């Protein structure tokens, strides 16, 4: 079934999803529309991507089968008060707005699904966390899962695991970027041009991640395969351990989880 999809808000993630759906043939441009308060920016994005811009929230809701809540989390309550949902299916990518939170905020019971995307969705390498608790019927949920699998991978998590999942896949790209920048600086320090350095690091991380995903081997096993006795790699590993690399990674997640429980 060709569901009509309406984006409430069209920021960077909304644009990435709409662009991906259209370019990969997952949904027709004529079946995707969006509303955002900044009409000039919305029209500019629609010309670049191909979706249909709407001049009001009411018009968007009336013309859509599935609404994607893609506005900032602090705007969701305001949108819910103004949006004539009338039983429309609601798919939310607004951080923190899970199934139970919507149930508390909504006066009417509508089909709901909470999803957390990440930025690599822009190039079809996204990770999409689907909350297992939802009220989509099987046909619509199958459609949505297929839609998002076209832009990366889908993982289903229990409601209580969505926050830690978001800390890993949602915040993880920034940690990977930080590591690329740091190793890039080291490469530049020893003479490699910066653009070349970033290519080396990016491809190394990409290949290493793909190898683990496809082989299913424990990361420690893969690390051991590169670490020859008295070799260069184990010296580097030893230095990372000495400076608390793994502990720093765990502490970063601890800090995010502490913030999420406030």
In a domain, residue 222? The reply is: no
* Residue 26 sits in the same domain as residue 133: yes
247 and 211 both lie in a single domain:
no
Q: Is residue 81 part of a domain?
A: yes
In tens, the pLDDT along 209-256 reads 999 999 999 999 999 999 999 999 999 999 999 999 999 999 999 999
> What φ, ψ does residue 12 adopt, rounded to 5°?
-65, -40
Please report, for residues 56, 112, 249, the alpha-carbon distance to residue 62 in angstroms, rounded to integers and kept in the order given: 10, 17, 46
32 and 121 in a single domain? The answer is yes
Structural domain including 22 reads 5-166
Residue 164 has pLDDT above 70, yes or no: yes
221 domain-assigned: no
For residue 146, being part of any structural domain is answered with yes
Look at residue 262 in the predicted model and tell me its pLDDT: 62
Residue 86: inside a domain: yes
Report the alpha-carbon distance of residue 171 to residue 148 in Å, rounded.
Answer: 19
Q: How far apart are CA 44 and CA 173, in angstroms?
A: 27
Q: How many domains does the chain have?
A: 3
Q: Are 186 and 70 found together in one domain? A: no
69 and 19 part of one domain: yes
Q: Which two tokens stand for residue 59?
A: 């018009």
Residue 48: strand, helix, or coil: helix
Q: Is residue 5 pLDDT above 90, yes or no?
A: yes
Where a domain ends, among 166, 185, 200?
Answer: 166
Neighbours of 126 (CB within 10 A): 24
Residue 207 inside a domain? The answer is yes
> Any idea what the CATH number is for the domain that residue 62 is in?
3.40.50.720
To the nearest whole percent, how much of the chain has pLDDT over 70?
A: 99
Of residues 256, 257, 236, the one with CA closest to residue 245: 236
Same domain, 89 and 202: no
**126-131 and 112-116 as β-strands: parallel, antiparallel, unpaired?**
antiparallel
Q: Across the chain, what does the average pLDDT equal?
A: 95
> Model pTM?
0.91
| Residues facing 91 on adjacent strands | 68, 113
Say what the pLDDT of residue 260 is. 74
Please identify which residue in the block is written with the tokens 């010309």: 47
Q: Could you tell me if residue 83 is inside a domain? A: yes
Q: Are 69 and 113 part of one and the same domain?
A: yes
User: pLDDT tens digits for 126-142?
Assistant: 999 999 999 999 999 99
For residue 190 the two structure tokens come to: 């020893």
- Pairwise CA distance, residues 63 & 5, whole Å: 8
Q: Within this chain, do residues 155 and 188 fall inside the same structural domain, yes or no?
A: no
19 pLDDT above the threshold of 90: yes
Task: Report how far apart, in Å, the C-alpha atoms of 210 and of each of 44, 73, 75 are.
Answer: 36, 33, 37
pLDDT tens-digit readout, 55-68 = 999 999 999 999 99
pLDDT-based confidence at residue 21 (cuts at 50, 70, 90): very high
Q: Mind listing the pLDDT tens digit for each residue in 43-59?
A: 999 999 999 999 999 99
Contact by Cβ (8 Å): 152, 124: yes
Instruction: Report how far residue 88's alpha carbon sits from residue 50's, in angstroms, rounded to the nearest whole number.
Output: 23
- Would 109 be classed as within a structural domain? yes
Whether residue 66 is found in the same domain as residue 43:
yes
CA distance 10 to 156: 25
Helix (H) or strand (E) holding 188: helix 172-189
- 25, burial (CB in 10 Å: exposed 0-12, middle 13-18, buried 19+): exposed
3-state secondary structure at position 67: strand
Per-residue pLDDT tens digits for 101-160:
999 999 888 999 999 999 999 899 999 999 999 999 999 999 999 999 999 999 999 999
Same domain? 44 vs 99 = yes
pLDDT digits (tens, 9 = 90+) for 193-218: 999 999 999 999 999 999 999 999 99
- Taking the CB of residue 145, how many other CB atoms lie within 10 A of it? 17
Residues 9, 94 share a domain: yes
Instruction: State the residue for tokens 């089968």.
Output: 65
């Amino acid at each position: 079934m060709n569901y009509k999809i309406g984006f409430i808000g069209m920021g960077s993630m909304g644009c990435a999803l709409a662009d991906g759906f259209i370019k990969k043939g997952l949904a027709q441009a004529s079946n995707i529309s969006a509303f955002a308060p900044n009409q000039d920016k919305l029209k500019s994005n629609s010309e670049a991507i191909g979706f249909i811009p709407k001049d009001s929230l009411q018009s968007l809701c009336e013309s859509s089968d599935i609404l994607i809540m893609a506005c900032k989390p602090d705007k969701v309550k305001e949108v819910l008060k103004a949006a004539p949902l009338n039983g429309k299916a609601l798919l939310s990518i607004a951080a923190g707005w899970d199934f139970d939170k919507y149930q508390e905020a909504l006066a009417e019971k509508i089909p709901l699904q909470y999803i957390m995307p990440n930025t690599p969705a822009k190039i079809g390498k996204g990770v999409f966390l689907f909350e297992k608790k939802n009220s989509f019927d099987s046909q619509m949920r199958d459609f949505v899962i297929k839609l998002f699998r076209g832009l990366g991978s889908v993982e289903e998590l229990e409601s209580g695991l969505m926050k830690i999942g978001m800390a890993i896949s949602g915040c993880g790209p920034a940690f990977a970027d930080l590591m690329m920048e740091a190793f890039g600086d080291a490469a530049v320090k020893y003479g490699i041009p910066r653009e070349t350095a970033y290519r080396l690091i990016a491809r190394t991380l990409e290949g290493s991640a793909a190898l683990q995903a496809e082989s299913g081997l424990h990361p420690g096993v893969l690390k051991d395969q590169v670490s020859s006795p008295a070799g260069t790699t184990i010296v580097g590993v030893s230095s990372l351990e000495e400076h608390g690399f793994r502990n720093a990674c765990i502490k970063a997640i601890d800090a995010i989880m502490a913030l999420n429980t406030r």
